[in-house]
Amino acid sequence: MGDATKGKSRRSLASAISLQQLRLAVVACDCGSFRRAADVLSVKHTVLSRSIGQLEHLIGTSLFERSSGGIKPTLAGRTVLRIARLILEQIDTLAEAAHAGGRGGPGHFTVGFCTSISTGHLRATLKEFKRQFPHIELATVERSRIRLMTALRNGTVDLVLSPGRLFSKETKALPLWSERILISLPEDHAFAGREVIHWTDLREQTILLSQYDPGRELEDLLMAKLLLPEDRPKIEHHDVSRGIIKSLVSMGLGLSLVMESDIGASFAGLVYRELQDGLGSSRLDFYAHWRHDSDNPILHRFLDLLAERYPSPPPPPLGE
């Protein structure tokens, strides 16, 4: 088959796949069951099953392993579903951009983040900004890091607050606060009686991590703390939110790494302990990101508040 014929075939396939098919497949994966997904989406089970079957036929591979206990994605299915999520995120971003175009206005400011606001610096900053500027319409958006940076570039959000520096030629960054890394564990776990847990204590444990942000930073930190593969715990990645990870931990299915801001909302059967190495607490740094050509006058007010609350340390003297 020639390149032109292959290209035409790929275009035909792309036009035949619908966003609805992708959305149904993603929800089915999240629910672990066609029937539960159908209930969540308020569609007939047969409609959902047929739609996913048609998608599998179009791409030429099975997305799920089916059993009496539910479904789980195949190896090929995990790849397809990951791409499907990115496509759906981009479509949602497109819709948000259109909505923002009709909203906007000089008194509107949108902050994007990919962390918890149950407690901590982000929560306190948002409350203080609203106290100082009660007439400004302050909107918040929680999305994945990739989606937040896309929204920042297209103007859907004015400022992104995230753990870790996000590099882009179009944006500037301001270092802010840092948060301790904690371990969450069932209240009846052997470690629950300790005040402090060391990274090396995790060797024989199972660590549950969300595939959503900031799971990647937490895993990278774990790998940096435990350099030798034989010293590392078993890591399980789950395509669920941080809240669902907490549920799995409380059920005794493993432990998890969390940031300090995650502990504001109490969770039955769950306790938190500080993780330390030989130097003490382990922390992740947070940054503010914004477009260097932003024309929203409120941005400068928010940046002034951040600079006041979290002043950057002065540079060291020359020669040091």
- The residues, any chain, with a CB within 8 Å of residue 174's CB and separated by 6 or more, are 287, 288, 303, 306, 307, 312
Where do the domains of the chain lie, and which CATH numbers do they carry? 3-90 (1.10.10.10), 93-177+284-309 (3.40.190.10), 179-283 (3.40.190.10)
Tracing tokens 């990739």 back to the chain, one arrives at 146
In contact, 274 and 180? CB cutoff 8 Å? yes
Q: Which residues of the chain have pLDDT under 50?
A: 102-105, 320
* pLDDT of res. 320: 46
Q: Which of 51, 56, 52, 59 is nearest to 10 (CA)?
A: 59
Q: Which of 197, 176, 203, 25 is nearest to 115 (CA)?
A: 176
* pLDDT of res. 106: 55
Q: How far apart are CA 18 and CA 196, in angstroms?
A: 51
pTM of structure: 0.65
Helix (H, G, I), strand (E, B) or coil at 110: strand
* pLDDT of res. 104: 47
Q: Which two tokens stand for residue 305?
A: 């508040």
Tracing tokens 């990919």 back to the chain, one arrives at 114
Distances (CA, A) of 234 to 74, 189, 212: 21, 17, 18
Q: Which of 62, 51, 61 is nearest to 27 (CA)?
A: 51
Q: Please tell me what DSSP assigns to residue 89.
A: H
In contact, 172 and 253? CB cutoff 8 Å? no
pLDDT over 70 percentage in the chain: 88
Cα dihedral across residues 92, 93, 94, 100: positive or negative:
positive
Could you read off the pLDDT of 86-122 as tens digits, one per residue? 888 777 766 665 555 544 445 789 999 988 887 889 9
